[in-house]
Structure 1
Amino acid sequence: MDADPNSVSRGVELMGTPDQAEAGGSGVVSRRMTGQQSGTDPYVFMVPNNKVGLVIGKGGETIKNMQARIGTRIQVIPLHLPPGDTSKERTVQIDGTSEEIEAAK
C-alpha cells in the first residue's frame, strides 16, 4: 500500500520458514487474517511527525520486528508525507486480535 504506484518494482517481505512459504504461507499472515476476521477493530492513534522514525526504526527494523514478534500488522499512514503537506501528525494503525493489539500498544 505504501509503494509508489508509478514504480516498476515493489519490495516485499516474506516471513516464515521455507516449508511455510512452499505450503502457501502461515504463521504471521494467518494470525493477522484470523484477527481481522474475528471482527476486532483496528487500534488507531496519532504520532507527531518528528516521532514517526522512532515507530518505524532504521530501515523499518523496529516496526518489522514488532510485527514479526507479535503477529500483528502496524501501518504508518501515510508512510511519507506528500510534497506540500503541512500535517503535524500521522496515523498509526494496528490490526490484529485484541491480544495482539494490546501487545503492540
Structure 2
Amino acid sequence: MSKHVEAFFQNENDAESAKAELQKLTIENEMVEAIPVDKDLSMVIPLSGSSGTAGAATNFAGALETDHDPLNDQKHLTHILHFQIQEEQYDRAVKIIEQHKGHMESVK
C-alpha cells in the first residue's frame, strides 16, 4: 500500500536535492512546487534531530515550549515536495527528508 507524503523546504534547491535522493527508493508522482499562499502550515515541524516518526513527535512537543515561536519557523518555508511511496519504505524516505532539512506535518 502506498502513502502520500508532503515535505516542506526552505528553498527549491533543498526540495529538488531531496527528490533526487528519494529516486533511490520506489517513489511515484513526485513533484516540487512553491507552497501555495493559502496552505495551512500550523502542524508542520522540522525533522532535524528526530529519528522516525517518534522523533518528530518529540520535536513537536519541544515546539510547544513558551519561548519557541512555531509561526516564525514556517515563514522560511517556500517549497513543497509531494510523492507517493510504499509504506515499507516510508521511514527511509523520512530520513532522507530530514537530511535535506525538510519539515513534515506532525503526527496527530
TM-score normalised per structure 1: 0.34
Report 1 or 2 for greater relative contact order, CA contacts < 8 Å, sequence distance ≥ 6. 2
Q: Which has the greater radius of gyration?
A: 1
Instruction: Identify, as 1 or 2, the structure richer in strand.
Output: 2
